[in-house]
Amino acid sequence: MLNFSHPWVLILLIFVPLLYFLKKRNKSFKDGSIQFSNISYLKKIDNLNGQKKIHFFEFFQLFIISCLIFTLSGPRVKSNFSESTYNIVDINLILDISSSMRAEDFKPNRLESAKETAKTFIKYRKGDRIGLLVFAGESYIQCPLTLDYKVLLTLLENVKIIDEEYDGTAIGMAIAHGINRLRNSDSKSRIIILLSDGSNNSGELEPITAANFAKEYGIKIYAIGVGANKEAPFPYFDPFGNKSYVNVDVKIDEKTLRDVAHATGGLYFRAKDEFELENIYNEINKMERSKVKIKDYTLFTDLFSFILVPLIILLIFIECLYQFIFKKIT
């Protein structure tokens, strides 16, 4: 968008036609006039071509003067732009992959439902670094903190239930592992979202002890307990490969998960089905948003220096042509 730093200078443009009139009037007084009885004689005067050229250069001089006035008015291009500063959140998703996550009180089962809900959560984040850690009897880094959500979603899709030989629920060690991935982060907001369907029965570290370490590093934990009330259908296969179900007791150590969350300033949630789980992730998504600071700027690009010098050079050139070459024609 074009505007002017000194728009009042443009008023001088109204004097350009007056300057032309005065110049022509002064020239007519100086040169005088001759009357001809027959205009056909004028066609034989070669001087007319020169006069036309002089008129052209006089007009061109006035045009350049008009351009100079336009330049002195300070033409400039106005540009508006915004600068956004993101206070990103570093998020470590910790997902239970013990054998109990096969229970089908969530559809199609607890693990697959948790994966789908986590995918939606990831897709709604913007500019945050997100990592994925899975655990059973031991914990494993599935994906380090990353901004490449495409890679993260692919690695999340590849998460499977742990083999029986590595089964267990080491919540304390999983939290400690998650802390280790976040403690050197320079982000002001660091959180762990822990999802489990059981109680701590493996590992050398108690969950509440790990939570206290998280508190020291300023890491907030959101804990989610998943599982229906009382009993859940659990699939098993007989030696012939036939699938059957048996109802198993739901054993979530809600007290431990609640204490872990509250010790770090976080919250504990209980999800009894996939719909509640989705709502929980949506709630966390709203609470832990990246803070965005937007500053609006207006940038002016002055055209003065780009126009003035070429115009002055052109004006001098035209004046020299007029004084030393074309004026001799008259």
94-122 pLDDT tens trace = 999 999 999 999 999 999 999 999 999 99
Task: Note the pLDDT of residue 45.
Answer: 46
Total residue count of the chain as it appears in this document: 330
Q: Where are the domains of the chain?
A: 2-29+47-79+298-329, 89-289
CB-count exposure of residue 40 (10 Å: 0-12, 13-18, 19+)? exposed
User: For domain 89-289, is the CATH number 3.40.50.410?
Assistant: yes
Task: Note the pLDDT of residue 62.
Answer: 75
Residues 6+ apart with CB under 8 A from 101: 109, 110, 111, 114, 161, 197
Secondary structure of residue 4 in the 3-state scheme: strand
Long-range Cβ pairs for the range 297-301 (8 Å, 24+): 297/80, 297/81, 297/82, 297/83, 298/78, 298/79, 298/80, 299/78, 299/79, 299/80, 299/81, 300/5, 300/76, 300/77, 300/78, 300/79, 301/76, 301/77, 301/79
Residue 48 pLDDT exceeds 50: no
Bridge partner list, 219 = 190
Residue 321 pLDDT exceeds 90: no
> What CA–CA distance (Å, rounded) separates 24 from 206?
101
Task: Note the pLDDT of residue 240.
Answer: 84
Name the amino acid, one letter, at 160. Answer: K
Task: Note the pLDDT of residue 42.
Answer: 46
> What CA–CA distance (Å, rounded) separates 207 from 225?
14
**Cβ atoms within 10 Å of 191's Cβ, excluding its own:** 25
> What CA–CA distance (Å, rounded) separates 52 from 155?
81
pLDDT band at 177 (very low <50, low <70, confident <90, very high): very high
User: Higher pLDDT residue, 167 or 305?
Assistant: 167
Residues 2-29: pLDDT tens digits?
777 777 777 877 777 777 677 666 655 5
CB 304 within 8 A of CB 74: yes
Percent of the chain whose predicted confidence (pLDDT) is above 70: 75
> What CA–CA distance (Å, rounded) separates 290 from 285?
10
Please give the span between the terminal C-alpha atoms of the chain, in angstroms, as a whole number.
46
- Identify whether 75 is preceded by a cis peptide bond (ω within 30 of 0): no
User: Higher pLDDT residue, 46 or 261?
Assistant: 261
**Cβ atoms within 10 Å of 200's Cβ, excluding its own:** 23
Task: Note the pLDDT of residue 326.
Answer: 56
The DSSP string of 145-174 is EES-HHHHHHHHHT--PPPGGG----HHHH
Residue 196 pLDDT exceeds 70: yes
Task: Note the pLDDT of residue 85.
Answer: 64
CB-count exposure of residue 195 (10 Å: 0-12, 13-18, 19+)? buried
